[in-house]
A and B are shown apart, each in its own frame.
Chain A
Amino acid sequence: MITAPLLEIAVLILGMVILMFEAFATKIDRRLLAFAGILGLTAVLVASFFVARNSFTNQTAGFWSFYTADSLSIFFKQFALLTTILVLIMMIDYAPVVENSVAAGKLRSVLGEFFAVPIFTCAGLMYMASAIDFIFIFVSLELVTISLYVLVSFTRHNPATLEAGAKYLVLSALSTAFLVYGITWLFGVTGQTNLQRITESLANTGIDRTAALFGMVLVLVALGFKIAAVPFQIWVPDVYQGAPTPVTAYLSVGSKAAGFVVLLRVLRPFLMLPETHRLLVLIAILTLIYGNLAALPQGNLKRLLAYSSIAHAGYLLIGVVCLDGRAVIFYLTAYLLMTLLSFAVLVIVSQQTGDRISDFDGLGKRSPFLAFAMLIAMVSLAGVPFTAGFLGKFFIFYAAVAQRQIALLVVGVITVGCGFYYYLKVVRAMYWQSTDKIDKIPISALSRFAMSALILAIIGLGVYPQPILDALKR
Chain B
Amino acid sequence: MLLFVIFCPIVAAILIMAGAPARKTALVASMLTLAITLFLLGSLQGWQRDYQYVTSFSISPEWHLSFTTGLDGLSMVMVLLAAIVTLAAVWFTGKIDRYENAFYGCLLLISGGAIGAFASIDLFFFYAFHELALIPTFLLIGIWGSGNKTAAAWKITIYLAVGSFILLLGLILLYQSVPVASRSFDIRALKAAAGQISPDAQRHIYLLLLIGFGILISLFPFHTWAPEAYASAPAPAAMLHAGVLKKFGLYGLLRLAIPLLPEGARHWTDVLVALLLGNIIYVGLVTIAQKRLDWMLGYSSVMHMGYVFLGIASANILGVTGATALMFAHGLSIALLFAIAGEIRKRTGTLLLDDLGGLAKVMPFAGLAFGLGAFAAIGLPGFANFAGEIMILFGAFKNGWEMERFHLFQIATVLGLWGVVISTVYMLRAYRKTFMGTLAERWKDLIDLRPILRAPVALLVGALLCYGFFPQSFVRIITPAFRPYLSANK
Contacts and interface: CB of A to CB of B under 8 A. Distances in A.
Interface of A: 364, 375, 379, 382-386, 390, 394, 397-398, 401-402, 409, 413-414, 416-417, 420-421, 424, 427-428, 431-432, 463-466, 469
B161 interface: yes
Given A385-B127, A394-B168, A401-B176, A420 B158 contact: yes
Nearest to A386: B128
B131 A431 contact: no
Given A397-B168, A417-B158, A432 B142 contact: yes
B91 to A, nearest CB: 25
Given A385-B132, A397-B168, A409-B169, A421 B139 contact: no
A382 B162 CA distance: 11
B157 interface: yes
A417 B158 CA distance: 6
B135 interface: yes
A208 to B, nearest CB: 39
Interface in B86-141: 99, 102, 127-129, 131-132, 134-135, 138-139
B162 A424 contact: no
Contact of A385 (B128, B138, B142, B153): B128
Contact of A397 (B158, B162, B169): B169
B146 to A, nearest CB: 13
B59 A424 contact: no
Interface in B139-165: 139, 142-143, 150, 153-154, 157-158, 161-162, 165
A182 to B, nearest CB: 36
B161 A466 contact: no
A416 B168 CA distance: 12
A416 B176 contact: no
5 contacts: A384-B131, A385-B132, A394-B168, A431-B99, A432-B143
Nearest to B173: A401
A202 B166 CA distance: 39
A386 B169 CA distance: 17
A427 B176 contact: no
A421 B158 contact: yes
Contacts of A385: 127-129, 131-132
Interface residues of B, number: 30
A432 B127 CA distance: 28
Contacts of B150: 428, 432
Given A379-B135, A385-B131, A414 B172 contact: no
A432 B102 CA distance: 12
Contact of B154 (A409, A421, A463): A421
B60 interface: yes
Contacts of B173: 401
Nearest to A465: B60
Contacts, number: 78
Nearest to A428: B142
Contacts of B134: 384
B161 A416 contact: yes
Contacts of B153: 428
Contacts of B132: 385-386
Nearest to B175: A398
B62 interface: yes
Contacts of A424: 135, 138, 154, 157
A465 B60 CA distance: 8
Nearest to A379: B135
Contact of A420 (B139, B157, B172, B176): B157
Contact of A413 (B62, B131, B135, B165): B165
Closest 3 A/B residue pairs (Cβ):
A385-B128, A417-B162, A385-B131
A386 B161 CA distance: 14
A463 B59 contact: yes
Nearest to B145: A432
Given A397-B169, A413-B162, A390 B128 contact: yes
A414 B161 CA distance: 10
Contact of B62 (A375, A420, A428, A469): A469
Nearest to A412: B165
Contacts of B62: 466, 469
A97 B154 CA distance: 36
A416 B162 contact: yes
B99 to A, nearest CB: 7
B99 A364 contact: yes
A413 B166 contact: yes
A397 B169 CA distance: 7
A413 B102 CA distance: 30
Interface string B56-68: 0001101000000
B176 A431 contact: no
A323 B143 CA distance: 43
A94 B383 CA distance: 64
A432 B153 CA distance: 11
Contact of A414 (B59, B102, B162): B162
